[in-house]
Amino acid sequence: MNATGAKDQHLALVLQQLAMPPGTQSTLWIVDESLPIESLVTIPGAATLTAMTNRYDIHACLQSRGVTALLSDFDFSQLGEFQRIVYRISKEKLVAHHCINQAIRRLSQDGELIAIGGKQDGLKSIAKNAALTYGQKNNTRKIGNSYLATFRKPGILTDEQFLPSNDYGRLRQVQHKGVSFYSKPGVFGWEKVDRGSELLTTVLPTIQRYMKSVNSVLDLGCGWGYLMLATREWDVQTRCATDNNVAAVDAAQKNFAEHGLTVDCVVDDCASNIGGRFDMILCNPPFHQGFAVSDTLIEKFLAAASRLSRRSTRAIFVVNQFVPLEKHADKYFSQCRLLLAEDGFCVYELRP
């Protein structure tokens, strides 16, 4: 078993031992890609829990296992109180701060928030700051390779008594590399134009010129919408953008509307519910699952692109140079051509 597998297995054991409340206490789990789903659904009594997630695939999986699951950009406004809230902290600090702040608000008077994570996840420093912010003793303890911190609801909550989350829920205008766009914490690379995506867009004019027609475009894993925005001057009849992350689709919709683009924006698990075929598919796929690198994700995006391609389709992918896209692409496409290698990224054209 590799180090990541051992860590996940140990985390699952910690969760099973510490996260289940006795009796009929109401429990909320805050879930994103940092928590292995099997760690949750295999716990006895999991079907009695409530889970909140910002990821479509996690939401669908939890529902299929009988868990009451809420899909949102970690919007706690419609929730009641819980006696126990469990949170395997997120990769991004501002997301973690937001979720901890909101969880504290939703605790019943005698409730507890259990935050779990590894040293590399930043749990120790986040827990230390949270204890100071909420005026509580820092009781973080180490269990194997994981850390666990418990918080109670403060007697009085003031506006100053929360961790800084940069007004998490608000879309805000960002300027980067001369590009103006709307984004927010929780979206991958939310404050920047991703260099890989930028390189992908440089090859698009040439590809468009040698294709007979581009009447439909799919942005697979759209983020805040940069790749689709690169086609805004094209005469395209059908545009579709999809992402697994609720916050990303919200930001993309805002950016498309700002540029007057009509785009069908879909929250989905790697286009699993999208039908039809597209002339061009644009993709800067993720290669991390939570805190770990995952070849499975690359395969998933290639399979989706293949399913949504017609014979004349060009699928344009950009990946980090260490990702062996050519090896994986052979299973789904007859041609894989390297178009550009620069700044640690490789741009490929895939053809059925």
CATH number of the domain enclosing 233: 3.40.50.150
Q: Are 136 and 154 in contact (CB under 8 A)?
A: yes
Instruction: For residue 260, give the nearest of 295, 294, 286, 236 by alpha carbon.
Output: 236
Would residue 43 count as lying in a domain?
yes
pLDDT given at position 135: 86
H/E run at residue 143: strand 141-143
Q: According to the model, what pLDDT value does residue 296 have?
A: 81
> Given this model, what pLDDT does residue 274 score?
96
The radius of gyration computed from the CA coordinates of the chain, to the nearest angstrom, equals 22
Q: What is the dihedral of CA 219, 223, 228, 232, to 10 degrees?
A: 160
Cβ(305)–Cβ(282) below 8 Å: no
Could you read off the pLDDT of 201-258 as tens digits, one per residue? 999 999 999 898 899 999 999 999 999 999 999 999 999 999 999 999 999 999 999 9
Residue 320: inside a domain, yes or no? yes
Is the pLDDT confidence value at 158 over 80? no
Residues 126 and 211 placed together within one structural domain of the fold: no
How far apart are the C-alpha atoms of 88 and 31, rounded to whole Å?
7
The arithmetic mean of pLDDT across residues 180-207, rounded, is 96
Q: Which two tokens stand for residue 173?
A: 């205008």
pLDDT for 278-318, tens place per residue? 999 999 998 745 444 457 889 999 999 999 999 999 999 99
User: What's the predicted TM-score (pTM) here?
Assistant: 0.90
Give the residue carrying structure tokens 């789904």.
332
Residues 123 and 225 occupy one common structural domain: no
Report the first-to-last Cα separation within the chain, whole angstroms: 36
The reported pLDDT for the residue numbered 316 is: 98
- Does any domain span residue 102? yes
Q: How confident is the model at residue 14 (pLDDT cuts 50, 70, 90)?
A: low
Residue 10's pLDDT band (boundaries 50, 70, 90)? Answer: very low
Provide the pLDDT confidence category of residue 16 given band limits of 50, 70 and 90: low
Summarize the confidence of residues 187-198 as an average pLDDT.
95
Of the candidate ranges 9-13, 76-80, 178-182, 230-234, the one whose mean pLDDT is the lowest: 9-13
- If one counts the domains in the chain, the total is 2
pLDDT at 154 (0 to 100) = 83
What pLDDT was estimated at residue 53?
A: 96
Q: Does residue 72 or residue 120 have the better pLDDT?
A: 72
Same domain, 200 and 335: yes
Q: Are residues 147 and 244 in the same domain?
A: no
- Verify that 95 and 199 share a domain, yes or no: no
- Domain span at residue 100 reads 3-152
| Antiparallel, parallel or unpaired: β 50-53 and 27-31 | parallel
Q: Which of 19-28, 151-160, 281-290, 334-343 has the lowest mean pLDDT?
A: 19-28
Is 123 in the same domain as 256? no
Same domain, 286 and 335: yes
Mean pLDDT of 1-14: 47
Q: Are residues 147 and 225 in the same domain?
A: no
